[in-house]
Every structure is written in structure tokens, then in C-alpha cells.
Chains A and B, each alone.
Chain A
Amino acid sequence: MSHWIIAPVVLPAILAPIIAFVMRHDISLARAASFAGTIALAAICVGLVVAAADGQTVSYELGNWPAPFGIVLVLDRLSAVMLLLTAILALLVLLHAVATGWDARGRHFHALFQFQLMGICGAFLTGDAFNLFVFFEVLLIASYGLMIHGGGKVRLQAGLQYVVMNLAGSTLFLFALGTLYAATGTLNIADLAEKVQALPVEDAALVRAAAMMLMIVFAIKAALFPVQFWLPATYANAPAPVAALFAIMTKVGAYAIIRVHTVVFGPDVPVLSGVIGDWLMPAALVTLAVGAVGVLGARRLMSLLAFSVVGSMGTMMVAVAAFTAETTAAALYYLVHSTFSAAALFLLADLVVSRRHGDGLRAQQPTVQNGLFAALFFAGAIGMAGMPPLSGFLGKLVILDAMQDTPHMKVAFVAILLGSLLTIVGFARAGSVLFWKSTGLVPEPVDPEADAVADDRPQPAGAMAVAPTVLAVAMLGLLAVFAGPVSAYLGDAAGQLYDSSGYVSAVMGSGEGG
């Protein structure tokens, strides 16, 4: 059995304490170690994606305890793709944080960053519901630290709000797991899939309650209506590179819904009778509307981007809520796209905001490199709003195409198209205020004391600082160019999800094969 499956969890888990304890006084050493670890993680994830490509689901038994009793890690196409996405995003964010000096504004950035990666990778790999809870806590506790990195009054208040919200969510998660265990007697995802399938309809109430509670917990993470309120305040006040990394955190919630509510509580499970999709669809539609209206009404650049993340989660969850293999494949393609477009926009916002007075959407004197930033903002905005030629357009097109055969076709079309329109208008307004109107302003009269404050003037961003943003936009382009192979892979991943027998036999049957 390949031991590489556990490497994405173990590597950051070992690296993070080493960085925290050994390298805490030497930022350049910590940077080097963090880079080396993240690059190695990306290489491992590429290997895992290739290994999972043959459609074999591989399970890894921790401590060699057989499946329903021990904890398993499971690698299939979906988790491999999510891991690779995490690693690439982490590399971009790390590059940005180092190039702009964000990592030196507080302590332990790199250690927390690696712990965050450990939690995210673990959540994508685990095949056990309680272990999923543990990895959620790992990634959350690291994110608490990253969220308030650099400090400041507003950021601490927003951080406190974020912690309270997530602790309440964790409690609900435990209630859901307890209910599930009481009803089925297991928490292994594959074992649950078998047990829930075989459950008599009379015992359905407990399982249905547990499934709904789990959905609410994951919806908190994925920022779905009505539990999306934490996201704009958190993302808008987090350090921008951290907000870019958080682009994957909402996807962890989405991944958990996709995984648990297809493999365990799939649409064909008799005791649930499709109740999940019935609740998820309206929530997703309202989320999409909230995001679009928020983009239109935002008065700060960072909250505009945060609302665009909410909107993209809504778009994606509309496709997930239809619960067919085609719509899930479309949702996965959009998931990859929206992660990179959110990251590109947040990284760019950091470059822009750090050279302006605050991030309010008001015209100010043009900063240095106004043209470059405007071009990058334009590219990121058309990616996020879903216009050609970048992958957002293809993503939405694939979602709309897949939604055609579902009963929700009309409402989904209206919501997604109207939401896109509002998002385009919102981004166009923000872009023209930030980058275009500013060029029309009369330059302020030169202050005689200007020489004294000349050092305060914004410095142009170096090539290294701009590179991550450009790379993130380039990923959108690549995603559009290689849409065929990517969506074929994701289509297979979705197929694997809806044929849960492969998952179950890989986990439960591996006791003999070892």
C-alpha cells in the first residue's frame, strides 16, 4: 500500500512545529522551510492526482486497524483534485505573503500557514466523519491565528466574531455526529453509507435530523444563506493574503457537502427521500442573490470581493443541490475556477489597497502602476463575473448546461444569469471608480513639505509582488484552455461519487487485501 496518501497531512504537521520552535527568530529560514514544504506538498499532490486518475479508490488504514474500527484516509479523484488545488493556491499565497512582507508583520505566520494546510489536506483525505471534525478544528484554529495576523482593532473584533461563529458551528457538528452515531452505530463514511442505505424507513427521523444538522454545519463553512453573515466581515478584515488562502476554506465546506451528502446521504437513499436537495437549493439561490446584491452595494473593495465569494459559492451550490453526476461535475469545475479567481482578486486588492488611503470605493489620486493594477483587476473581475475568455464563463456555461435536465432549470437559469449581471455591474462600478475616475482628478497642489513625506509615497510593486496575482489570473486562463481534460477528470470524479460502491468496497473490503 502506498504511504504517499498520508504525506499531505504528515509533511505540514512535522514542518509546522519545527518552524514554530526552531526557526521562530529567523524569518528567512522560516520562509525557506515554508517554501520547501509547500513545493514538496504540491509535488506530492501532483503525484496523487496522477495516481488517482485510473479511477481506483485507495484507502489507507492508520495504524493498520481494519476499516470500520480504525480511521481511514481515502484517496479518490475528488480528494486528489482538491489537494492539488490547495497546494497550488498555497504556493501563490505564500509567494505573495513573502514578497509583500505580510509574513513579517506578526509572529508565527509560516507555522500557522503549515498547520492550516495540514487541516485542509486532512479534511480532504479523511474517510471518517469524526476525523473530519478533528481536521476541521485543526484548520479552524490555524485560521483563527492567521485571521488576526498583524493585529489591529477592527481585525481583532472581526476575528472574535469569526471564532464565536465557528465554535458554535463545531458544537452543532458534534451534536450531528452524536445523533448519527446513535442511529447507526458507526462514523466511518463508507460504513455509514452501507448502514444508512439499509436503514428501515421507520428509523429515519434520527438520521434525517443528523443529515440536516451536518448540512447546516457544512453550510456555515461554505457560507450559505442563512449562515453566511460571518464571511463578509471576516474576509474583508483579514489580511489580504490570508483572505486569498481562505478562498479554499469555503470550498472545504462545499467539499464536505459534496462528499457526505452523495456518498452517505445520496439522493437515492430511501430514508431521506431527497430532503437535502429540497433545502439546499433555495439556500443556494438566496446565497447567490445575497452575493450579487452585496457586490452591487459594497462600499469597500474588500467587502465587495467578500460578497463576490458569497455569490460564487451560491452559484456553485445551485449546481451541487441538483445532486446529479453532471451538475456535480460542473460544480467542481466552477469550484476550481472560483478558488483561483477569488485568490487573484484578493491578492490584487492587497497590492492596490496598500498603496491607497483605505479601501473605500472612492476616487483618489491614481497610485503608482495604476494601469497594471487596472488591467489585473479587469482580468480578475471578468473571471469572477463569468465573462469570456476566462474560465468563469466556461464554468457558468457548464453549470447552466448541466442544469437543463433538472426540475430546477428555470429558477437556476434566472438566478445565475441575473446574479452574473449584477456582479458585472458591481465590478464595473468598482473598477471605474478605483482606477478610471482617479485619473481624471486634478493632482493636489504640491505641498512645500512634500519632500519631508516623500518616503511615505507608495512604492511601485516589484515583479515578485505582482507575480502571484498574475499567476492566479494565468491559472484562470489555463483552466479555460485545458477545460476539456480538466472537466473530463472532474466528470469522472463526480461519477465516482455517485457510484459509491467503489468507495465502500475500497474502504470496507481492504481488510483482506491490506
Chain B
Amino acid sequence: MELLVASAVGVLTAGGVYLILRLRAFPVILGLALLSYAVNVFLFSTGRLMVNAPPVLNNYGDASYTDPLPQALVLTAIVISFGMTAVLVMFALGAYLEADDDSINMRDEIDDDAARADAEEGGA
């Protein structure tokens, strides 16, 4: 099981990093989602891997139990990464619709004055 979990984290991370480096909006969003899955599985494993053990102590202290804290952390991390992905999708859509270009990269500064003026007009 250790091998399975470890390789799952590794593959998800590798895929996520690769997709982020594509620098187009859609692959980057997928890549960040994969990375957040990787980190969720990883956080789970930080409490040591256990099967069929409840996340609570029992009164008699004889049953084995699994650490509940990483599960709480994972829950928080899932909620946050879910919300962040939603925000990111909105950003990517907004940027794509405004610029007709889904690449995540700034243009050179050469014609920046004009672009800047555009931005100001858009803001006014």
C-alpha cells in the first residue's frame, strides 16, 4: 500500500507540474487540480497509513486508531483548493474573453504604454 500511495502522489505531482509548465489556461487549471489531489493524498499519509482503524481513541486504549488530525487538515485543504480552483477558472475565463488569448504569460513591455492606456480605459 505504501508503494501505491507514494507512486500516486509522485505521478499526480509530476503530471501537475508538467501541465502547469504548459502555460495555457486550461492545462494549468488541470495541473493545479492534479497538484492539489497529490497534496491531499500526501497529507493523508502524514498520519501514517492505516487500514480499518477509526480516527478516535477508545476508552480502553486497546484498539488501534488512526491519527484524526491529517484528516481534518485534508478536509480544510480540499475546501480551500476547491474554492481556489473556482476563482482561478473565473480569472482564466475573464482573461481569455478580454484578451482572446489563453496563454499565461505577459507580453513584452515594448508596446506597454498603449496596453496600459487600454487598461486604464477599461477601468474608467
Measuring CB to CB, which residues of chain A are less than 8 angstroms from any residue of chain B?
A: 105-106, 130, 134, 137, 141, 144, 148, 150-161, 163-164, 167-168, 170-171, 174-175, 177-179, 181-182, 233, 237, 239, 299-300, 303, 354, 357-360, 362
Contact = CB atoms under 8 A, between A and B. Distances in A.
B83 A141 contact: yes
A167 B121 CA distance: 29
A80 B87 CA distance: 32
A455 B28 CA distance: 45
Interface string B90-124: 01101100110100111001001111111111111
Contact of A160 (B38, B81, B104): B104
22 contacts: A130-B73, A141-B83, A151-B122, A151-B123, A152-B118, A152-B119, A155-B119, A157-B99, A159-B95, A160-B88, A160-B104, A163-B84, A170-B84, A171-B16, A171-B36, A174-B43, A178-B39, A303-B109, A354-B120, A357-B117, A358-B112, A358-B116
B27 to A, nearest CB: 11
A183 B55 CA distance: 19
Given A130-B73, A137-B84, A164-B104, A156 B114 contact: no
Contacts of B114: 358
Contacts of B91: 144, 148, 156, 159-160, 163
A154 B20 contact: no
Interface in B57-92: 69-70, 73, 76-77, 80-81, 83-84, 87-88, 91-92
Given A156-B99, A181-B70, A360-B112, A134 B120 contact: no
B69 A154 contact: no
B87 to A, nearest CB: 6
A299 B119 contact: no
B interface secondary structure, majority: helix
A152 B70 contact: no
A155 B76 CA distance: 30
B117 A153 contact: no
B99 to A, nearest CB: 5
Contact of A141 (B87, B121, B123): B87
B46 interface: yes
B42 A300 contact: no
Interface of B: 16, 20, 25, 28, 32, 35-36, 38-39, 42-43, 45-47, 69-70, 73, 76-77, 80-81, 83-84, 87-88, 91-92, 94-95, 98-99, 101, 104-106, 109, 112-124
Contacts of B116: 154, 300, 358-360
Nearest to B118: A153
A359 B32 CA distance: 34
Contacts of B28: 164
Given A148-B91, A152-B122, A141 B113 contact: no
Nearest to B25: A160
Contact of A157 (B20, B39, B88, B106): B106
B57 to A, nearest CB: 13
A358 B98 CA distance: 20
A175 B39 contact: yes
A300 B76 CA distance: 41
Given A153-B122, A156-B94, A168 B20 contact: yes
Given A137-B84, A178-B73, 5 more contacts: A130-B76, A160-B104, A178-B46, A303-B109, A358-B112
B122 A150 contact: yes
